[in-house]
């Protein structure tokens, strides 16, 4: 995802000389092509994220699109008030980009686990939040983001993720969800790089005779409510999947719609349950421990499907 | 009848009444500073609001900026090559609102809506619906960083306009101020001018008893800035300092003016009295303050 983002940004910076990138002293290898091509439009703000985000708001006020680039929680939780007051309240054309959403930097420890950013950023008014699920979605949302005014948040995974979409996502319509697999028994709704696990879960469910639909939501806010309503109407059970706390994030957003709709569909949320990851491990290991890998998602979906069948027989 | 007449009197007449023909010369920084004090008292009185002492402290700084320094046009508040002013100590917002109203950005009469339900003039300075305000502040430690971004943008555009940021001394407790100070120096933003309203007091007690800033001027120098100290109530001295700050363009360093001020300046019982950071002037205290300010009318 990171590489897809840099590739698209490079193209857009070639086209538009009002795009500036500020990094919080990160992205050594990744940003190198940008440093080489556009040295006058690259700013290293140093390890000073609050100053960096205020700076971005000020630069945007001079008629620029400003990309703020950092990893994990550094571009979100650390300068949160600057994002809220200086960027969002002023509708500043600032695009905050986090590399390493979820457990990407798993083995580095708790400080580097970005597991609340989706909830926190979603809560702030007038910020558009993107959570692409694979490189193809990253390319589509990055292009869309760079065309839209105002403050945005782009939550990326890492480099070299597997492709989930078989080909490029063409003509993506903001903020639409994207179906990756059709199914009739249950639906798995995914936001962010954990999409691979949702796909894995659908595969596992198929071997058990359960047909699972998989839908990716590359835009967390505004959420594609229309698609959520359609899914609520078409299925008796939905499972939301996010590499983030289940409090206030994607699963919560879906549940809010479900509750307001009052549909007969039940929603279960997969994600971190009000805890920090304390064991050491890489991304996949932590997904497994904290029950958000393909096997855990499949188990959750299977249990929900079984419960709904029993209920319907009663 | 007398009371009714009093209530009917316009805000503008109330503030301007004592000037010849009811028309103060707002191009005179001492007159504008007085109007900032007088309106600050009236606005905090009408709204039962706070921060009168901060407004009294920053009055000359804001007055000199609007009369003698800033290149701004009330008829074209978004003029592309205007100077940018950020009041980072947003709690002194009524000082900027008064300066803007008195210099023609919006009607003086509107000042009476400060803090009022449904109005735009929030207690901390806001840009929404207020012509001439660049940036909304209130949470401390944001303004300098935004100013750094603006000055950086101007530098990229090779533009000649300057960015001015007015900070509080207590505000300099914020780590973000020093992040921005380093960034401004690193990028050689010599059209960025910061002014610290150095009144030596903050919310609960003195700066000295809270987080010591001295040697303050040296600190800024150590952070890569050119710095000077000035009497922040002497309009001529302030003007001269701003001239030097403007001449600083080309030096490769940002410029800071430490304007030594007295919190509550102009009202004897508010001066250096911590009570008046939050206390609202009402009743006899309002009348006494009014009397003292009237005696200072230029």
- What is the domain partition of chain A in residue ranges? 2-156, 178-313
CB contact (8 A) between residue B142 and residue A81: yes
CB contact (8 A) between residue B183 and residue A62: no
The CA-atom distances, in angstroms, between B210 and each of A156, B89, B207, B278 are: 42, 18, 5, 17
Q: Residues B26-48: pLDDT tens digits?
A: 999 999 999 999 999 999 999 99
Kindly state the greatest CA–CA separation across chain B. Answer: 65
Which strand (E) or helix (H) includes residue A146? helix A135-147
Helix, coil or strand: residue A198? helix
pLDDT at A28: 86
Write out the residues of chain A at the interface with chain B, using a CB-CB cutoff of 8 A.
20, 40-41, 43, 45-46, 48, 50-64, 66, 81-82, 85-86, 89-90
- What DSSP string describes A216-236? E-SEEETT-HHHHHHHHHH-S
CB contact (8 A) between residue B145 and residue A62: no
Give A37's Cβ-side CA count (13 Å radius).
18
Residue of B137, B139, B145, B149 to mutate, interface with A, max A Cβ within 10 Å: B149
A2-156 shares its CATH topology with A178-313: yes
Residue of B nearest to A50 (CA): B176
Nearest to A62 among B127, B157, B182 (CB): B157
- Is the Cβ–Cβ distance between B234 and B170 less than 8 Å? no
* Alpha-carbon gap, residue A102 to A73, rounded angstroms: 10
* Alpha-carbon gap, residue A186 to A307, rounded angstroms: 12
Judge if the upstream peptide bond of residue A175 is cis by omega within 30 degrees of 0.
yes
Write out the residues of chain B at the interface with chain A, using a CB-CB cutoff of 8 A.
84, 127, 134-139, 141-154, 156-157, 163, 175-176, 179-180, 182-183, 186-187
Give A160's Cβ-side CA count (13 Å radius).
2
CB contact (8 A) between residue B151 and residue A58: yes
Output b/e per residue, B62-75; b: 16+ Cβ within 10 A.
bbbbbbbbbebeee
Chain A hits for B139, Cβ within 8 Å: 81, 85
CB contact (8 A) between residue B180 and residue A55: yes
Nearest to A62 among B144, B154, B182 (CB): B154
Question: Which architecture, in CATH terms, is A178-313?
Answer: 3-Layer(aba) Sandwich (3.40)
* Alpha-carbon gap, residue A20 to A66, rounded angstroms: 5
CB contact (8 A) between residue B152 and residue A43: yes
Q: Any idea which fold A2-156 has?
A: Rossmann fold (3.40.50)
pLDDT per residue of chain A (314 residues) written in tens, 0 to 9: 999 999 999 999 999 999 999 999 999 889 999 999 999 999 999 999 999 999 999 999 999 999 999 999 999 999 999 999 999 999 999 999 999 999 999 999 999 999 999 999 999 999 999 999 999 999 999 999 999 999 999 999 988 889 999 999 999 999 999 999 999 999 999 999 999 999 999 999 999 999 999 999 999 999 999 999 999 999 999 999 999 999 999 999 999 999 999 989 999 999 999 999 999 999 999 999 999 999 999 999 999 999 988 888 87
Give the distance from residue B194's alpha carbon to the nearest chain A alpha carbon, in angstroms. 15
The secondary structure of residue B14, as a DSSP letter, is: H
pLDDT at B5: 41
CB pairs under 8 A between A and B: 99
Which strand (E) or helix (H) includes residue A49? helix A49-60
- Is the Cβ–Cβ distance between A56 and A87 less than 8 Å? yes
Confidence of residue B7 (pLDDT cuts 50, 70, 90): low
CB contact (8 A) between residue A58 and residue B142: no
* Alpha-carbon gap, residue A246 to A268, rounded angstroms: 10
Helices (H) and strands (E) in chain A, counts: 11, 12
Structural domains of chain B ordered from first start: 2-295 (3.40.50.970)
CB contact (8 A) between residue A63 and residue B154: no
Examine the pLDDT at B165 and tell me if it is beyond 90: yes
Q: Residues A36-70: pLDDT tens digits?
A: 999 999 999 999 999 999 999 999 999 999 999 99
Residue of A nearest to B81 (CA): A62
What is the pTM assigned to this prediction? 0.96
* Alpha-carbon gap, residue B119 to B117, rounded angstroms: 6
Judge if the upstream peptide bond of residue A26 is cis by omega within 30 degrees of 0.
no
Residue of A nearest to B142 (CA): A54
Cβ within 8 Å of residue B110, ≥6 positions away: B101, B119, B121
Q: Residues B88-132: pLDDT tens digits?
A: 999 999 999 999 999 999 999 999 999 999 999 998 999 999 999
Examine the pLDDT at B2 and tell me if it is beyond 60: no
CA B82 to chain centre: 18
pLDDT at A309: 87
The CA-atom distances, in angstroms, between A148 and each of A151, B5, B251 are: 9, 54, 38
Given strand A42-44, what is the order of strands in its sheet? A42-44, A19-23, A65-71, A94-99, A151-156, A127-130, A219-221
* Alpha-carbon gap, residue A203 to A214, rounded angstroms: 10
Rounded to the nearest 10 degrees, the angle between the axes of helix A135-147 and helix A2-15 is 30
pLDDT at B4: 40
CB contact (8 A) between residue A61 and residue B151: no
Residue of A23, A54, A68 to mutate, interface with B, max B Cβ within 10 Å: A54
Confidence of residue B8 (pLDDT cuts 50, 70, 90): low
The CA-atom distances, in angstroms, between A142 and each of A8, A216, A285, B279 are: 7, 16, 29, 50
Helices (H) and strands (E) in chain B, counts: 11, 5
Count of residues for chain A?
A: 314
Chain B hits for A66, Cβ within 8 Å: 149
**Residue ranges in B17-120 assigned as alpha helix (H):** 29-47, 52-64, 93-102
Calculate the CA dihedral of residues A297, A300, A305, A306 and round it to 10 degrees: 140
The secondary structure of residue A40, as a DSSP letter, is: G
CB contact (8 A) between residue A89 and residue B136: yes
SS3 of A77-129: the string is CCCHHHHHHHHHCCCCCEEEEEECCECCCHHHCHHHCECCHHHHHHHCCCEEE
Residue of B nearest to A82 (CA): B142
Chain A hits for B156, Cβ within 8 Å: 20, 40-41, 62
């Amino acid at each position: 995802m990171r590489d897809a983002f840099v590739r698209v940004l490079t193209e857009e910076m070639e086209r538009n000389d009002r795009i500036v990138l500020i990094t919080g002293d990160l992205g050594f290898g990744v940003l190198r092509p940008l440093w080489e091509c556009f040295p006058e439009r690259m700013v290293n703000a140093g390890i000073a994220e609050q100053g960096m985000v205020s700076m971005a708001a000020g630069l945007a006020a001079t008629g620029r699109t400003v990309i703020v680039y950092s990893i994990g929680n550094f571009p979100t939780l650390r300068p949160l008030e600057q994002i809220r007051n200086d960027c969002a309240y002023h509708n500043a054309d600032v695009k905050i980009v986090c590399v390493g959403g979820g457990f990407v930097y798993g083995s580095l420890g708790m400080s580097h686990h970005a597991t609340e950013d989706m909830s926190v950023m979603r809560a702030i008014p007038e910020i558009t939040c993107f959570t692409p699920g694979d490189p193809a979605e990253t390319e589509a949302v990055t292009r869309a983001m760079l065309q839209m005014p105002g403050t945005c948040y782009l939550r990326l995974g890492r480099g070299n993720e597997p492709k989930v979409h078989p080909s490029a996502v063409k003509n993506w319509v903001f903020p639409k969800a994207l179906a990756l697999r059709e199914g009739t028994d249950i639906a798995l709704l995914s936001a962010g790089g954990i999409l691979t696990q949702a796909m894995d879960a659908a595969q596992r469910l198929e071997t058990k005779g359960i047909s699972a639909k998989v839908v990716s939501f590359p835009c967390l806010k505004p959420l594609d409510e229309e698609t959520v309503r359609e899914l609520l109407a078409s299925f008796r059970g939905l499972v939301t999947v996010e590499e983030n706390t289940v409090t206030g994030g994607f699963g919560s957003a879906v549940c809010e719609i479900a509750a307001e709709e009052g549909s007969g569909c039940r929603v279960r949320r997969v994600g971190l349950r009000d805890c920090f990851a304390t064991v050491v491990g890489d991304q996949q290991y932590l997904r497994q421990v904290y029950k958000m890998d393909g096997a855990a998602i499949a188990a959750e979906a299977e249990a929900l499907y079984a419960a709904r069948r029993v209920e319907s027989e009663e | 009848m007398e009371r009714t007449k009093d209530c009917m009197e316009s805000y503008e007449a109330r503030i301007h009444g004592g000037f010849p023909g009811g028309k103060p010369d707002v191009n005179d920084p001492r007159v504008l500073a007085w109007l900032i004090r007088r309106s600050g008292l009236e606005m905090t009185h009408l709204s039962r609001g706070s921060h009168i002492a901060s407004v009294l402290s920053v009055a000359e700084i804001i007055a000199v900026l609007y009369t003698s320094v800033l290149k701004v046009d009330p008829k074209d508040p978004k003029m592309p090559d205007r100077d940018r002013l950020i009041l980072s100590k947003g709690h002194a917002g009524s000082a900027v609102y008064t300066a803007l109203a008195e210099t023609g950005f919006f009607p003086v009469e509107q000042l009476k809506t400060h803090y009022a339900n449904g109005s735009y003039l929030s207690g901390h300075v806001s840009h929404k619906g207020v012509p001439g305000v660049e940036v909304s502040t209130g949470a401390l430690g944001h303004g300098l960083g935004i100013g750094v971004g603006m000055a950086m943008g101007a530098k990229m555009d090779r533009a000649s306009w300057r960015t001015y940021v007015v900070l509080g001394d207590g505000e300099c407790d914020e780590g973000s101020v020093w992040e921005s100070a380093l960034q401004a120096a690193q990028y050689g933003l010599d059209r960025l001018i910061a002014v610290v309203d150095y009144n030596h007091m903050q919310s609960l007690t003195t700066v000295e008893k809270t987080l010591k800033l001295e040697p303050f001027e040296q600190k800024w120098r150590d952070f890569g800035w050119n710095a000077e100290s000035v009497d922040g109530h002497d309009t001529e001295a302030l003007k001269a300092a701003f001239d030097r700050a403007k001449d600083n363009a080309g030096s490769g360093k940002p410029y800071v003016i430490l304007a030594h001020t007295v919190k509550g300046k102009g009202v004897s019982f508010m001066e250096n009295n911590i009570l008046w950071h939050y206390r609202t002037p009402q009743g006899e205290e309002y009348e006494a303050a009014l009397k003292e300010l009237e005696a200072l009318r230029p």
